Structure 1
Amino acid sequence: MTVAGAGRKGIALTDRQRIAWLRLIRSDNVGPSTFRDLINHFGTAEAALAALPDLSLRGGAMRAIRIASVDDAERELDMAHRMGARFVGIGEPDYPPALRQIEAAPPLIAVKGNLSVTSQPSVGIVGSRNASISGAKFAAMIARDAGRAGYSVTSGLARGIDTAAHRASLETGTIAVLAGGLDKPYPPENLGLLDELTHGNGIAVSEMPFGWEPRARDFPRRNRLIAGVSLGVVVIEAAKRSGSLITARIAADFGRLVFAVPGSPLDPRCAGTNGLLKQGAIVTTGADDVLQALAPISQLDLFDMSQAEEPPSERSPSSMPLPDDDARALIAQALGPTPVEVDDVIRHTELPAAMVYLVLLELDLAGRLHRHMGGLVSLSME
């Protein structure tokens, strides 16, 4: 595996920090947003890990929270090492810069391949698994032209459009985002393609644990990373209900450009892309439509690695007194099944912001809080 960090600014996690980060993100009820809030409050992953049991109990957990052990983390790190992969933290030079900018970016990703690809701006190309010949040819054309213009191509390693896009960008740089662990790629027929790109000018990326078999609900998470890595997403042949439309919606939520290739109204594979055009997606009939729209964005400081966040320093948790039962009840009463902004909870309860965030952490770790796009939260009614 090629290491690309030399010459790019950023921080490097110590081995001890990497183990602690991996333990924290692999513990129950800890997602990317919760991870960030824990680090912000406690300063380090180790301090957050020590606080998890009390936090979850105060949030109303009915049983002890499962915390990933040091052995668990070391075992996963060893699996990564044996297959030529490694874990990259959000502030490190090899972390994809555009992905770092999204809301609730994964704190750690497993990567395998030529990490210099992460220094290139990227364009996502997604579409039908049951692609037509013309659809696959068009995807390959966009991928080749984008590669010649200095972009990597990001897709999901699926059949059809994804496969065509990856194959056409093997020489110029391609990123395959997986729904399962790096050792559990899907579909099986693309194992050869995955091996070819990770041993050439490409990388495989996953936020899921090693050994994780992809399930249906894991693919929207994969689509989220495709949208996050890319400056824009090109959709080619997508049905009305398809994962490609999910990727397009998420990309729009992230402020990315969404491109759609028009198709025949008689072809159900084009119903989704034609619908995107009605909603304002950029009409795409050639690579120039994509490259001209992305050119101003690719010149931004998004790829300046000096903006990488520093690893947490050793510090004590907040000295603010713990919220009492009355404060917890007030915050819980302010929440409901409808997502609301945290600032609204703070204004409604008139409690200190740090206290509100701490109680939300308690509820989250107890499995009683739902987090939504835009930083919204709601209370689980289960």
Structure 2
Amino acid sequence: MVKTRKYIVKRYFEGIPKRDDFEIVEYELPSLQDGDILLKTEWISVDPYLRLFNKMHPVPFDQFSPQIATVEESKHPKYPVGTKLLSNKGWCEYSILNMNIRDQSLGVHRLPDMNGLSSSLGVGVMGPSGVTAYFGLLEICKPVAGETVVVTVAAGAVGSIVGQIAKIKGCRVVGFTGSDEKVNWLEKELGFDKAFNYKTVDIEKSLKEATPKGIDCYFDNVGGQISSIIISQMNDFGRVSICGCISAYNEDFAKLPKATIVQVAVVTKQLKIEGFLCHRWENRFSEAYKELHQWIVSGKLKVREHVTEGFDNIFDAFLGLFSGENVGKAVVKL
């Protein structure tokens, strides 16, 4: 019998998540049955979207999120001991999956061939964050060399990849982030043409100065008034890829702050605005992984992780997302 721990959400978040919204439960896993595999968690992803989906599940529920785990014991011939898997089992030390049950095996993938890269990238650039940036930008915005791309939460797990892919494709890239340190990282290390600390600049004025030819593509991670300002300055036939709305995740959705309407700009400039979930392109993930890996190895794509260690510190890593503590992908090492 294997003893393990997991985080259970026992009450819905009200505002910023609190430690006592969770309960850490210790329990024993049952013996493996035919088709079962025992997984030991190695890396856990913490992401802002976990806050968004909080009230979509009846409490109590196990806190889900992407994780990388290694098969420690197996009663399934296709998943031998040592196999590394990406699943959505979330904030737990060990778990059991029955790979004969289709509904349970959905969302479980073998870790792509990392070719020497850290397996932690499997919950980041070579995992959900990478495919979100890759397909959200290239399939929805379809940037063309010479165009201008703007991205919000630009120093985050997805935004930092979006900006670099846009540069690889020959675009001018402008990013908005939440600190001067992150501005420097975006401009000096990642090659953004211009980055701004949205907390300290006049957003509308700075944007006009940084995009003299207007904006062709906008990758929206934040929502709110800043997105209304950016959309209002877009060129005719501009494209907007909506990935998230972190500015509202900790708000009461019935009392959201007002933002300037964008419909006038959308109609008169004939803009395309589309939201997405990356699973739309699940059958093409291998295509993205191959290209992302090549870009990393060649030095065209730089990766930075914000690593927290220890099961007991998962909540702290999660909470830090909402105060901007992380630069790049936030992961927890168990």
**Is TM more than 0.5 here?**
no
State the structure with bigger RCO (CA 8 A, min sep 6), 1 or 2: 1
Pick the TM interval, shorter chain: under 0.3
Task: With the length of structure 1 as denominator, give the TM-score of the two structures.
Answer: 0.25
In terms of fraction of residues, the more helix-rich structure is 1
Larger radius of gyration: 1
In terms of fraction of residues, the more strand-rich structure is 2
